[in-house]
A = this chain, B = another copy of it.
């Protein structure tokens, strides 16, 4: 494994455990048993580390969406997809706490609006397809509301999880938040669609 990717991995672990604010470049170097100078060689600024991790997160999300899109629309598979998206966010949770720092690089070196645009477009397409396939049914109002909710939820849940339930295990976190999402789908699922919801409640 390259030093670069070892640094990335270790940085993420430390960010996840102690937060970005509390983790210095020295801490990362020490954990890897390399020199701070060496770390600076690979990542000139701490910010570059953050950007690399965010890219990794974004890339993971894209893959998960692409894989879903590759097959026929199916509510059960969509819920699994959401579950995978949540796991990806959880794996990168450390960086989402540094909002204040994040905001400083959003719009400059990292295109956050792009993530958001893609997310909404995906959700819109997916919901429309699930309507056609007969898993969901809603009035126009319901659909735009559900898109808003899902986009909102996917942006926020990880922050709330970190603040409100810092000590829960990953699977407990997943159970809690998947249940939360599925409750929203319960409002618009057809009789056919209901079947997919059962295993998450």
Contact = CB atoms under 8 A, between A and B. Distances in A.
Interface of A: 19-22, 97-104, 106, 112, 116, 145, 148-149, 152, 155-157, 159-160, 162-164, 166, 180, 183, 187
- Chain A interface secondary structure, helix, strand, loop or mixed? helix
B155 A99 contact: no
Given A97-B100, A103-B162, 10 more contacts: A19-B100, A20-B100, A99-B100, A100-B101, A102-B163, A106-B163, A145-B183, A152-B156, A155-B164, A159-B159
Copies assembled: 2
B155 A160 contact: yes
Contact of A103 (B19, B102, B116, B180): B19
What are the 6 A-B residue pairs with the smallest beta carbon separation, nearest first?
A156-B156, A21-B100, A97-B100, A19-B100, A97-B99, A145-B183
